[in-house]
Chain A
Amino acid sequence: MKLTALLLLLPFLHASANGYGQEKFSLNLDQVEAAKVFARIQRASAYRFFYLQEDIKKLGKINIHVTEATVPEIMQKVLGNALAYKILSNYLVVISPSQMNLRQQIELRGTVRDENGNPLEGASVKVKDQNIGVTTEADGSFTIAVDPKATLEISMIGYQNVEIQVNGRSRIDDIVLNIASSGLEEVVVVGYGTQKKVNLTGAVESVGSEVFENRSMSNTTQALQGAVPNLNLFLEDGKPTRSASFNVRGRTSIGQGGNALVLIDGVEGDPSFLNPNDIESVSVLKDAASAAVYGARGSFGVVLITTKRPTRGKTTVNYTGNYSVQSLAKKPEFVTDAVTWLEHFRMAYYNTQGTVPTSINNNTQFYSDDWLERMKAWKASGEGPKTEVLPNGDYEYYNNTDWMGLLFKDRTFTHDHNLSVSGGNEKSDFFVSGRLYDFGGIYNLDPDTYRSYNLRAKGSLKAYKWLKLSNNMEFANNNYHMPYSALGRSANIQRYIEVSAFPSLPMYNPDDTYTRGGASTLAAFAEGNNYQNNKQNLFRNTVGFNTNFFNNTFRINGDYTFRYNDRDYFWKRVKVPYYQNANASAPSYAGDLNGIIYEWMGHTLYTASNIYAEYENTFAYKHYIKAMGGWNYETSAYKANSIQRNQLLLENAQSVQLATGTSITPGASASRWKTAGAFFRLNYGFMDRYLLEVNGRYDGSTRFPVEQQWGFFPSVSGGWRLSEEPFWKVSKNVFSDIKLRVSYGSLGNGNISPYQFLELLGIGNSNLVLDGALNKSTRAPAPIPTGLTWERATTTDFGLDFGMLQGKLNFNGDYYVRKTTDMYVAGPTLPDIFGATSPKGNFADMTTKGFEITLSWRDKFMVSSKPFKYQLRATLFDYVSTVDKFYNPDKRFTDYYDGMTIGELWGFRTDGLFQEDPAPGDYINTIFKSSADAVWRAGDLKIRNLDKSADNMITKGTQTVDNPGDMTIIGNTEPRYQYSFTLNADWNGIFFSAFFYGIGKQNWYPATESAFWGQYNRGYNQMPAWQLGNYWTEDNRDAYLPRYAQYNGALGFSNHVPNDRYLQKVSFLRLKNLQIGYALPETWISRTGLKNARIYFSGENIASWSPLYKWTKNFMDVSSAIGNTDSDLSSSYNQGAGNSYPVLKTYSFGVSLTF
């Protein structure tokens, strides 16, 4: 047996193939058994001989006389043709009967390069049909012992495989790997393992580090936006701190919701903490079949982010740094001429109220027509701004303040430094990286700075041939400073400038005290005493092991991770003084008179354990089998405490300890969950032609009631490589590869928040002064859901991949249908007397249909005898969701209803603007009004009497689909037809790339308080410059906007009802990134010790196009328009639309140096 057994193990033993010693031996022996010869060599060297006694005995006694002979020479003499032998890389010489065909091997050296001639490290060099192989060194070199007639297979992730006939050569230095044209040769990361793309049957899309290179981005999420079709990342505003939830393939659930599961190196993580430079690849598992091993948390897709692996060989040091200039992509343009603004204020007020105003926004400034006349005269005189003191001491201002200009810097600077060191050998390797990202803030007086640090150290140790231990440690820290006005965290600064800082007002009075408008807005910035500081730390460590047995056909892997995340928020409010009257003995104040400090500290400890085994083998060259199974267990414990207290001892207090007031509000929150699951995956492939994969997971979660905690979620997928069929006769030059895929799977949605199924009475803080105090309070709990079970997402996916024209053209496409069933939503809407929101239950079903298409073209041609290589990639993706079931028998469109398309917007059709005052009976609209006396006048918006009711009354009917009154569906707010284009080109060291991303169709109706409306909302608002000349007057009857009137219900001020006239198209195309760079020629840099040096220019968000701009011009970026929240604020009403933190455009200059 023994030898056979040994031979079976052989493949393991050559894993490190460092060639063979060239030791030489001199022997002079007569009539000895061969065993004696071997013993002599063993004594003098590292060679060890392995043989069966009976084989050697056949040789009988031999004579041997050699001088300075190598082992192969000696073996030839000893064994002749009677026996064969094989020298293994660890100096083991195995002798076997000749029929085993272990003939003498030659030592072959070679070098593998890419098409640019750069050495390729880590390429696999394998003897065809044998389990013998080595990997290349950092310089691309390899050494392998082969039969002179062998065929080598050279492969590497991302490159096309190459086969080379050895033909007795001992040096082959011209091996070139071309970048995988079809992509099918790639290996992509999938759940608990990797898969060759050619074998993929699910919908998996993957991008590499190129997405992140040379870009100045504060975090990973921002860089990924638009990069992967149907990985939808909608950032709420332009803040550098901003991340987004990861959505795959559109609407998930209208019940529990749910996002894609994001795993970093196999463990759930938050990409906003991740150093983008550390990322090697991002895989998105889109369909249920691919995500099934993650069970309930993968029900809406999985995003697998893999960090860079250490490079072996010579230690590599890489520095990349860039220095960026950032500015507003679009600066909000408001009227800054006070006379124009004031005239419009008066007009808006008068046209609604029918009276002349006496003050502007509750006495922020007093108004009189006299003042307006004086202001006009002053403007006509051509003299500059001034402030006068009236006889009663009141200040009267003649100013033209550009408040947005005061708020925003023209430009700010950001720098980003990243240093990584990587190296190792066959026993151990390491990768250490660190990053500093420092954003200077776009606000002027108290910049909103953001600084983040990242540190990663990972390494592995090959303890035994079969065991590798690894560790991956990550630390991240970020600090964000956010100033706000004296009105505190509830006030969006741009919105408050619009409503209380008028162009006519300066920030300062002549004696350098603040004006009232200044005090309500930027004075707190100037004082630097109203702000929040958010600090976050993340520490994460994963320790893991990988084993392999039986010729690497069987592997067991395991890891354990803990992640500790703490957040520390500090908020402070301090009053800001101002004067409206020069004679006042004491100031008035904006803000909280006593001052408030709020501190919040929370932490989450999360642990994850995985252990899984996999078996992979090919039988009879036809049957490929891979099986994987394992166990996962995770726990999470979150806890936070907060305290708020008023009455600051010092204005610059930085701790609640320096607050001494009696209003003390403590708070606490906590939540814990656990999840466990057993999972498996089976792959079968026949002749690389038919592929089958089965996945499943038995999943448990603490978030469900005891009897519902466990569920089993299987899935299946299959692929057919048409191009591998014998009958496929189409030339490979036309169609290089075609694969059809189909998958089906059904997963539970485990996104339910903990404790939903318990009847709980929360303890809150009452805001009422009762018995002289603020008391703890509790109240009736929400009615508990009954019969709770898992929501399910069932995805069917059809895919087609093909390559054409020798792989120059590649297509990947998927069409999917995802049915989310048993969604956990409020039950049938009950009559109001129920007294609570209807108990939730598994009442709703929804279908989401969508597709993704990626088309790429890669080619090169010669320019000045240098190759000009270029690549184009275009993606198009879409989804649309419809509600299949929702208990709403009357189909009230204020709620979901059967057949509803998600995002549909109900509103009125319009018939333009009244050109004459309508007769009172001709048009009756009690839903809203555009003036205080509810009379409709020329210039008002005319809502269409869509239902042609005889009484000419505009109604909402019963707000049901069957009786909508005059309402109808006027648009849809969901993004449709998202697309991207990427262009890369490279010539003679000069590289260029451009990345465009866009949305093909989307509607937006500006919300009530949106900056879009200007003085149509509140008459004292700042006036968007684009509205000048665009509103109805008798001389401007074709104007876009109606009669100039404040609190104009027709435009949505009250009883917010959208209409089609002011519905905005917010589709857009954005040039997200543009890069131009130059790789310095090796000849220039070789003497400096540099291996590689590049300089580049990179721009982010440098241009955008949208139909919205037709009216609003440069008023706001399309993303700022839609965005209507700032989650750093605690706003009670929507202030954001058009006022969200602006999108920034970035010009950055950077270098990348590799030593």
Chain B
Amino acid sequence: MCAGCEMDEPVITSTDKGAIFSSEEGLKAYSISFYDILPDATEQATVEQALVDYGATNTLSGFTLINSYSENNSSGWSWSALRNFNYFIVNNTNTAIAESVRNNYTGLARFFRAWFYYGMVRRFGDVPWIDHPLDPSEEEILYGTRDSRELVMEKVYEDLMFAAENITRTSDAAQSSLVTKWAAYAFASRVALFEGTFRKYHNLNLTTSAETWLKRAEDAAYKVMQESGKTLNSSYRRLFTSDVPPVSETIMAIASDANLGIKHNANWRWASETYGTGLNLIRPFVCTYLQKDGTPYTDRAGWAYEDFYEEFQNRDARLNASLRYPGYIREGNLALPVFSGYARLGYQPIKLSVDATVGDSRTESTQAVQLIRFGEVLLNYAEAKAEQGTLTDQDWANTIGALRERAGITGGLTSKPTVVDNYMKENYFPDINDPVILEIRRERAIELLFEGFRFDDLRRWKAGELFEKSWTGMYIPGVNQPLDVDHNGSDDVIYYTDDAGLAAAAALSNNPNPYKVKVSTNPNAEIIQVHPAGNGSGYYLAWFTNNDSKKVWGPKQYLYPIPVGAINLNPQLEQNPGWENGATNDGN
């Protein structure tokens, strides 16, 4: 009747921590969960579809739309990933496992803990430093104040150095999906560069100087350059379109696999106007791509009034690798930008999508998405040295020169520039007088386009005003007339202002079915606008300029507000300056 009055039923489909932490298999299975903190492929491939200065989108991001952001709708104060790392670090103490093995996995955990805190500090500045899984009784921590940025970043650096020294894996030929020693060093250079320049340009007087961090950035980057064996891959485009990313340059990537059924949306998001934000580059940025000879495009005669075909001639090869260019072919068909849809401003990005169309409207993309690559390390190194004032011509040649050479540029590769490019200075960084730093910033934007650096770069350079830039696009020679924008003899698009204009243009067109795009000359219109280019007949396409006055960047926006819910739970968390009591992003 009561065979077992002892009321005991063991669990069989899960296990206790003793079993996990007593074998390398257990540590490895646990370490898989660390990777969950990484963005997924779609997220990483679309990270720059919002909140970048060089792109126009179909919706203004709330963070830069006046009075749209406050502690009431802030987010990102999530700490569950940290607990997972800390639980591992604290429990990975079983001496039955060799110390080097344990340290390898603890190194992984500390790499990801640094990843976590780097994100937190970038977003919120000061944050509590927690190095173990908290117990509810630890009220002095739970209800404590924030720790200083100084303290937290030192811990982050310690974590990264521990990771770099103890992670045993040095390469992952399969898909570069695993964290290696070089990923730790490369990431350390990114973190240190951010911190060094942030402290420098925001005049933070902390114990550890900006220079200390810039040196750390330089050293970490140098380690990768000297010891990892990584080189620049010959093809820039293939870095972003291969399922197996070139191992020569890739340090870490997010892998997908059709056979495993793990796919992402990159092509869809970069092809569909409504799935995502439909980001187009703006012409002021497109103009920063150098000419093949290494001179600025804006030095070219008539550059301001070049149409779609003309402006793509003799340029940095990365322009063609990043945008639909005249003559771009997909699956054997000429593929113009979709002027009536996605390509409102004429510049439709292709950098992170592939030339096959299968993923254009469904989740079928499998190309790897870069997370850390050697090209960035070179840029980190160059900038760290330049900011310290120690960049040599040889450094230039090894870094910016090498990147430009790969982009087909022939001039200015071996010695650092000596003349300020006024276009860059006036349009982007008016406070920078060092031609080297200006060129490194140009290079960084072009090389790392859409890879998720721009928002951070502008914040650390204290250049948030760029988010207020007006969104103007491609030059067109006229409206109400058929345009052969790729100069192949067949008319491609009619920009018309009214039905009569359309009818007149259609009668002239040598293509019965060109794109027909209604535009307005009214700068307050809510459709695509055309602004007189200043040469009497031509126009620049423009988008949402009626919203220019609503774009906002104020000093407080270099940090996000802590979500009000977190402050309600712990009033000791002081709100970041300017965001107190529900204040919105009002420009102050």
Assembly CA distance A834 to B132 (angstroms): 10
Q: Is B410 an interface residue (CB 8 A)?
A: no
Known: A362-B268, A770-B178, A834-B142. A776 touches B257 (CB 8 A): no
Nearest-Cβ distance from residue B280 to partner chain A, whole angstroms: 13
Binds A, one of B222-230, B259-267, B300-308: B259-267
Assembly CA distance A356 to B516 (angstroms): 13
Known: A770-B178, A781-B17. A362 touches B272 (CB 8 A): yes
Q: Which B-chain residue is minimally distant from A953 (CB atoms)?
A: B582
Assembly CA distance A927 to B11 (angstroms): 46
Question: In the complex, which residues of chain A have a beta carbon less than 8 angstroms from the beta carbon of B488?
Answer: none
Contact B136 A827 (CB under 8 A): yes
Contact B177 A354 (CB under 8 A): no
Q: Is A384 an interface residue (CB 8 A)?
A: no
Q: Is A839 an interface residue (CB 8 A)?
A: yes
Q: Is B431 an interface residue (CB 8 A)?
A: no
Q: Is B559 an interface residue (CB 8 A)?
A: no
Q: Which A-chain residue is minimally distant from B5 (CB atoms)?
A: A676
Q: Is B255 an interface residue (CB 8 A)?
A: yes
A residues 933-974 with Cβ under 8 Å of B? 933-934, 953, 955-956, 958-960
Assembly CA distance A608 to B19 (angstroms): 34
Contact B272 A758 (CB under 8 A): no
Nearest-Cβ distance from residue A604 to partner chain B, whole angstroms: 14
Nearest-Cβ distance from residue B267 to partner chain A, whole angstroms: 12
Question: In the complex, which residues of chain A have a beta carbon less than 8 angstroms from the beta carbon of B2?
Answer: 631, 633, 676
Contact A832 B73 (CB under 8 A): no
Q: Is B537 an interface residue (CB 8 A)?
A: no
Question: In the complex, which residues of chain A have a beta carbon less than 8 angstroms from the beta carbon of B516?
Answer: 368, 370
Nearest-Cβ distance from residue B289 to partner chain A, whole angstroms: 28
Assembly CA distance A772 to B257 (angstroms): 8
A residues 650-666 with Cβ under 8 Å of B? 661-663
Contact check: which of B20, B68, B83, B527 meets A778 at CB < 8 Å?
A: B20
Encode contact with B along A27-60: 1 for CB under 8 Å, 0 otherwise.
0000000000000000000000000000000000
Contact check: which of A390, A609, A933, A955 meets B550 at CB < 8 Å?
A: A933
Contact B513 A391 (CB under 8 A): yes
Nearest-Cβ distance from residue A958 to partner chain B, whole angstroms: 5
Question: In the complex, which residues of chain B have a beta carbon less than 8 angstroms from the beta carbon of A777?
Answer: 29-30, 32-33
Known: A391-B512, A834-B79, A934-B68. A355 touches B35 (CB 8 A): no
Counting chain A CB atoms within 10 Å of each CB, which of B2, B7, B141 scores highest?
B7
Question: In the complex, which residues of chain A have a beta carbon less than 8 angstroms from the beta carbon of B523?
Answer: none
Binds B, one of A215-223, A259-267, A591-599, A1111-1119: A591-599
Q: Is B294 an interface residue (CB 8 A)?
A: no
Question: In the complex, which residues of chain B have a beta carbon less than 8 angstroms from the beta carbon of A668?
Answer: 13
Known: A676-B7, A761-B15, A831-B142. A769 touches B256 (CB 8 A): yes
Assembly CA distance A596 to B261 (angstroms): 9
Question: In the complex, which residues of chain B have a beta carbon less than 8 angstroms from the beta carbon of A357?
Answer: 274
B residues 1-39 with Cβ under 8 Å of A? 1-2, 4-5, 7-9, 11-17, 19-20, 26, 29-30, 32-33, 35-36, 38
Known: A760-B15, A926-B584. A662 touches B259 (CB 8 A): yes
Question: In the complex, which residues of chain A have a beta carbon less than 8 angstroms from the beta carbon of B262?
Answer: 663, 767-769, 774
Q: Is A833 an interface residue (CB 8 A)?
A: yes
Q: Is A131 an interface residue (CB 8 A)?
A: no
Contact B130 A768 (CB under 8 A): no
Question: In the complex, which residues of chain B have a beta carbon less than 8 angstroms from the beta carbon of A827?
Answer: 136
Contact A633 B1 (CB under 8 A): yes
Q: Which B-chain residue is minimally distant from A520 (CB atoms)?
A: B362
What's the dominant secondary structure at chain B's contact region?
A: loop
Contact A358 B177 (CB under 8 A): no
Assembly CA distance A759 to B568 (angstroms): 30
Question: In the complex, which residues of chain A have a beta carbon less than 8 angstroms from the beta carbon of B32?
Answer: 766, 768, 770, 775-778
Nearest-Cβ distance from residue B569 to partner chain A, whole angstroms: 5
Q: Is A932 an interface residue (CB 8 A)?
A: yes
Question: In the complex, which residues of chain B have a beta carbon less than 8 angstroms from the beta carbon of A709?
Answer: 7
Contact B513 A355 (CB under 8 A): no
Question: In the complex, which residues of chain A have a beta carbon less than 8 angstroms from the beta carbon of B30?
Answer: 761, 777-779
Question: In the complex, which residues of chain A have a beta carbon less than 8 angstroms from the beta carbon of B546?
Answer: 933
Contact B8 A702 (CB under 8 A): yes
Known: A359-B273, A390-B513. A780 touches B84 (CB 8 A): yes
Q: Is B477 an interface residue (CB 8 A)?
A: no
Q: Is B526 an interface residue (CB 8 A)?
A: yes
Encode contact with A along B350-364: 1 for CB under 8 Å, 0 otherwise.
000000001011101
Nearest-Cβ distance from residue B111 to partner chain A, whole angstroms: 14
A residues 508-546 with Cβ under 8 Å of B? none
B residues 512-560 with Cβ under 8 Å of A? 512-513, 516, 518, 526-528, 546-547, 550
Contact check: which of A390, A834, A932 meets B59 at CB < 8 Å?
A: A932
Question: In the complex, which residues of chain A have a beta carbon less than 8 angstroms from the beta carbon of B136?
Answer: 783, 827-828, 830, 834, 838-839
Encode contact with A along B63-85: 1 for CB under 8 Å, 0 otherwise.
00101111011000111111110
Contact B1 A631 (CB under 8 A): yes
Nearest-Cβ distance from residue B124 to partner chain A, whole angstroms: 12
Nearest-Cβ distance from residue A308 to partner chain B, whole angstroms: 29
Contact A833 B35 (CB under 8 A): no
Question: In the complex, which residues of chain A have a beta carbon less than 8 angstroms from the beta carbon of B16?
Answer: 758-761
Q: Which B-chain residue is minimally distant from A366 (CB atoms)?
A: B341
Counting chain A CB atoms within 10 Å of each CB, which of B174, B256, B260 scores highest?
B260
Question: In the complex, which residues of chain A have a beta carbon less than 8 angstroms from the beta carbon of B256?
Answer: 769
Assembly CA distance A631 to B30 (angstroms): 45
Contact check: which of B58, B65, B84, B134 meets A353 at CB < 8 Å?
A: B58
Q: Which B-chain residue is minimally distant from A838 (CB atoms)?
A: B136
Encode contact with A along B467-494: 1 for CB under 8 Å, 0 otherwise.
0000000000000000000000000000
Nearest-Cβ distance from residue B147 to partner chain A, whole angstroms: 11
Contact A646 B261 (CB under 8 A): yes
Question: In the complex, which residues of chain A have a beta carbon less than 8 angstroms from the beta carbon of B172?
Answer: 771
Nearest-Cβ distance from residue A1082 to partner chain B, whole angstroms: 52
Contact A835 B80 (CB under 8 A): yes
Q: Is B87 an interface residue (CB 8 A)?
A: yes
Nearest-Cβ distance from residue B277 to partner chain A, whole angstroms: 11
Contacts A833-B130, A833-B142 supplied; 16 other A-B pairs, CB < 8 Å: A353-B59, A359-B274, A390-B513, A596-B261, A668-B13, A670-B11, A674-B9, A755-B14, A761-B14, A766-B35, A767-B262, A769-B177, A770-B177, A779-B30, A835-B134, A959-B565
Interface CB pairs A-B, < 8 A, 27: A354-B526, A355-B528, A356-B527, A362-B268, A362-B275, A593-B258, A633-B1, A672-B9, A702-B8, A761-B14, A762-B14, A763-B29, A772-B175, A777-B32, A778-B20, A779-B30, A783-B133, A783-B135, A830-B136, A831-B569, A834-B134, A892-B568, A894-B565, A926-B67, A932-B59, A953-B582, A955-B72
6 shortest interchain CB distances as A-B pairs: A835-B83, A354-B526, A780-B87, A777-B32, A779-B33, A358-B341
Residues of A within 8 A of B (CB): 353-359, 361-364, 368, 370, 390-392, 588-590, 592-594, 596, 609, 611, 631, 633, 646-647, 661-663, 668-676, 700-702, 704, 706, 709-710, 754-755, 758-763, 766-781, 783, 827-836, 838-839, 890, 892, 894, 924, 926-927, 929, 932-934, 953, 955-956, 958-960, 1055
